Structure 1
Amino acid sequence: MTIKAYLNPDFTLGKKLIFFLVCFIGIAISLGLIYLVAITVLQRDISGQRKKLALNNAFVNKVQRFFEMLIAGTSVLSFSCAYVIINHVNHLVQTGVATNLTSREKMLVELWAEGKDFVLLLLICLSCVINTILDMIIIPLKKITKEEKATIRMLAMFYVIILLMYLNRIGDESEYSPVMMYYFGLMIGRFVYFDASFKDFLIALKNMFFNLPYLILSLSLTGLLCYFGFYMKFLLERNYFIVGIFYTHLFLLAGIFLIHIVWMIISAFTRPRRTSVLSRSYLIK
């Protein structure tokens, strides 16, 4: 049992480019919706010369929160996907379907059987590291605060829980329920920690409520893209839907990275002149 079993051999380069283009268009439409919302809010609250500057700041902040939702969602989903694949392979070994294992594969199976909880903890830590690398180094999001990032990351867990709840209805419940319980535990710990006050709890709820639109937008975008991918047979149904969903998020990350590169190029050409606030936000400091 190798990783090739979870790949679609018919997903050729041409089909990947088509799927990437569709994902990129989906991101562009989402950014357009965010821009319309920013304009609507500012037209009601601000007028005059400050409007353009405020619009740029608001748009960049909202876009980066949306990007953080997708980045954090991908990182959390990587843990879920890894768990499902490892657990599936272990099940095949235990039932005798997978045979002729190498010494290394046998060692990994024994490690999973004896220290499953520790492996899961390691995977959770790795997903956090991946999240940090993505939103601080590869696609730096510097226009949102640490508190905003923390709130979005917490919502990303709920984002994945919703995906897993849907998968439970169409797949094997035993594959996803343990992962959901881990996420529920992490979310409860985020709300109720040992030195938290009731005021802290209310603030966390308030921050989560104000960022719910990004959760809804991300779920809508992911759902439409996954439907397109499975309908066009770009993604495989036989190897768990969660693997296809994870592939979709990888394409979304590629689209976000391309947008980041475009902003860097625009900023480089406009650097001698006065750089706009929107361009400066995507420069790597």
Structure 2
Amino acid sequence: MSYAEYVKHYFTLPDCIIFLVLALVLLAVVYAAFYIYSKGRFKNPRKMQHEFFSLTERFYELIFSGGSIIGFMAAYYLINRFVTSGAFYQFWSDYKDYLLLVFMIISILVNTFFDHVLVPLKRLDRDEMASIRLTGMLYMILIFCYIKFIYEDNNYDMFITYFLTLMIGRFVYFDASFKDFLHCIKQAAANIPIMIMGLTYLGILCLYGYSTSYLLKHNGVITNIFFCHLYIVVAIFVLHFIPEIYFKKKEKERGNRPKKKKRPKPSDVDEDVELEEIDIEILDL
């Protein structure tokens, strides 16, 4: 199949719509899980709301960071596969190792576009953002381990080595103390449940895609995983405003509720009765 035929296959109706609907439904399930967890943990509505949005934004960032990385890898794979002759092929053959670094920089810019422009993440501080991005790298390593040891595809060994190096270099540097190392690991470990949800989300999409032949095995597993991430990003863009509207409506309802009048204490009633009796005695005199 040519590149144009692959594009036509992935965007054929109604297959692409069904796949998008599945991505939207699964994201709604993620929202429900975060809501139930937040409501069970906090009784205070404001704390519960803050926890919910913290979880959702960390989930978004996990998908954005993983999707941007997998995207440039898919581009690298597709160029190697489809560009087999011509001037660009010669240029690519001579400098592809350096271009891999350029692609990495582009992926960082794409990630920044996702979390600052497409769906602005306003509730995560720098430490939280850094920790979830580190978890995102572990997320990618697990995907590559699945490809190598379960899917039994050895074409991505270079990428696995590359990202293991990046992951180690992310928190091991010359002036790092053991305390800094533990702090970094602790923050990243707190995001493991979110990472598991992301992998489950991705796994269900891949399972459905392969079972219906919407995802083509001979097109490369890395390309199919990229398409899954693309659909998840679209689902996030479509649905992310719904929790905002829901919680704003809840806040408005709480603000419009009439305030309960405080019942007088028994001691206050007794004092009022005594004062009335004193006033009556004075009038009699």
Measure the CA separation in 2 of the matches of 1:10 and 1:113. 29
Residue 18 of structure 1 aligns with which residue?
18
Give the 3-state SS of the residue equivalent to 1:9 in structure 2: helix
State whether residues 31 and 63 of structure 1, in contact with CA within 8 Å, keep that contact through their aligned partners in structure 2.
yes
State whether residues 135 and 141 of structure 1, in contact with CA within 8 Å, keep that contact through their aligned partners in structure 2.
yes
Deviations 1:247-276 (A, max 9, x none): 111111111001134467x49x96xx9599
The residue type equivalent to 1:29 in the other structure is V
- Quick check: which has more Rg, 1 or 2? 2
Residue 207 of structure 1 aligns with which residue?
187
Unaligned runs of 5+ in 2: 255-285
Instruction: Give 1:76-225 correspondences, 5 Å limit.
Output: 76-89=69-82, 93=84, 101=85, 106-169=86-149, 170-173=151-154, 175-225=155-205
Q: What TM-score do the two structures reach when normalised by structure 1?
A: 0.81
State whether residues 3 and 82 of structure 2, in contact with CA within 8 Å, keep that contact through their aligned partners in structure 1.
no
Equivalent in 54, 67, 70 of residue 47 of structure 2: 54
CA shift at 1:11, angstroms?
A: 4.7
Residue 280 of structure 1 aligns with which residue?
none
Measure the CA separation in 2 of the matches of 1:77 and 1:6. 18
Query: What is the aligned length?
Result: 251
Measure the CA separation in 2 of the matches of 1:262 and 1:14. 25
CA RMSD of aligned residues (A): 2.2
Change (3 A) 1:10 1:73: closer
Equivalent in 44, 63, 68 of residue 56 of structure 2: 63
State whether residues 8 and 234 of structure 1, in contact with CA within 8 Å, keep that contact through their aligned partners in structure 2.
no
CA shift at 1:82, angstroms?
A: 1.7
Which region of structure 1 is more displaced relative to structure 2, 4-13 or 220-229?
A: 4-13
Q: What TM-score do the two structures reach when normalised by structure 2?
A: 0.81
> Does 2:29 align with 1:29?
yes
The percent identity for this pair of structures is 32
Residue 97 of structure 1 aligns with which residue?
none
Residue 226 of structure 2 aligns with which residue?
246
State whether residues 57 and 121 of structure 2, in contact with CA within 8 Å, keep that contact through their aligned partners in structure 1.
yes
Change (3 A) 1:146 1:245: same
State whether residues 41 and 48 of structure 2, in contact with CA within 8 Å, keep that contact through their aligned partners in structure 1.
no
Measure the CA separation in 1 of the matches of 2:103 and 2:210. 27
Unaligned runs of 5+ in 1: 94-100, 277-285
Change (3 A) 1:6 1:177: farther
State whether residues 76 and 127 of structure 1, in contact with CA within 8 Å, keep that contact through their aligned partners in structure 2.
yes
Measure the CA separation in 1 of the matches of 2:106 and 2:206. 25
The residue type equivalent to 2:9 in the other structure is P
Deviations 1:160-181 (A, max 9, x none): 12112111232530x2111111
Measure the CA separation in 2 of the matches of 1:275 and 1:211. 33
The residue type equivalent to 1:172 in the other structure is D
Deviations 1:63-97 (A, max 9, x none): 1111111111101111221222223336xx3xxxx
CA shift at 1:113, angstroms?
A: 1.5
